[in-house]
């Protein structure tokens, strides 16, 4: 697999991280370096580890997980997104999606990286039989997701500081849309 192919795969996998990071930036509306770095590190780590798990686990668990992994991603993103939309319409002032909370970041990292698990399965199917053969794509995927998450957060903060709009409503709709996209791609 060429470096260009690896980079294209990494960019495709990083798009969900990028979108969620924009949403997070819209909500926090400040350049909180620790929050942005924690999110980027979690997204990058999960995007890198999931292909490894998929590659390693294909012989044992792949056939069981592959049939419903998209439902897990959809469910996690839909629950968070719908809660954000409901909170917006209740006008409670509460933000159910708080990217400062590690548990929220962890759930989002898992939800956005489930596609990467399937990519790891495809690595095995393409004949990548050793850890050395998948090391380069895994590193490229992790670094790309990390960088795209930082860029997304910065864009979100920038836009969030300059424009007033209902971040919870828009963010919730974006998360549900990402979940639906993942579901549709796998059905």
Write out pLDDT tens, residues 100-137: 899 999 989 998 888 888 788 778 767 787 888 899 99
3-class secondary-structure state, position 169: helix
The DSSP call for residue 177 is H
* Torsion angle of C-alpha atoms 128, 132, 136, 142, degrees rounded to 10: 90
| Domain extent at residue 16 | 3-186
What is the model's pLDDT at position 89? Answer: 81
Q: Global pTM?
A: 0.79
Q: Could you read off the pLDDT of 15-74 as tens digits, one per residue?
A: 989 989 998 998 888 899 999 999 999 999 999 999 999 888 875 665 666 677 778 778
> How many domains does one find in the chain?
1
Closest by CA position to 116, among listed 2, 1, 15, 35:
15
């Amino acid at each position: 697999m060429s470096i260009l192919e690896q980079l294209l795969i990494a960019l495709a996998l990083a798009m969900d991280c990028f979108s969620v990071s924009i949403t997070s930036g819209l909500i926090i509306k400040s350049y909180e370096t620790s929050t942005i770095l924690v999110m980027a590190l979690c997204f990058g780590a999960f995007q890198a580890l999931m292909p490894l798990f998929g590659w390693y686990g294909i012989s044992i668990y792949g056939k069981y997980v592959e049939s419903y992994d998209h439902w897990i991603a959809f469910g996690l993103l839909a629950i968070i997104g719908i809660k954000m939309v409901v909170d917006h319409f209740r006008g409670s002032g509460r933000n159910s999606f708080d990217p400062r909370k590690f548990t929220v970041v962890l759930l989002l990292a898992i939800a956005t990286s489930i596609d990467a698990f399937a990519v790891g399965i495809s690595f095995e199917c393409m004949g990548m039989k050793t850890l050395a053969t998948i090391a380069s794509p895994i590193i490229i995927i992790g670094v790309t997701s990390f960088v795209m998450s930082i860029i997304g957060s910065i864009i979100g903060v920038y836009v969030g500081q300059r424009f007033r709009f209902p971040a919870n409503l828009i963010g919730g709709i974006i998360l549900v849309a990402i979940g639906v996209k993942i579901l549709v791609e796998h059905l």
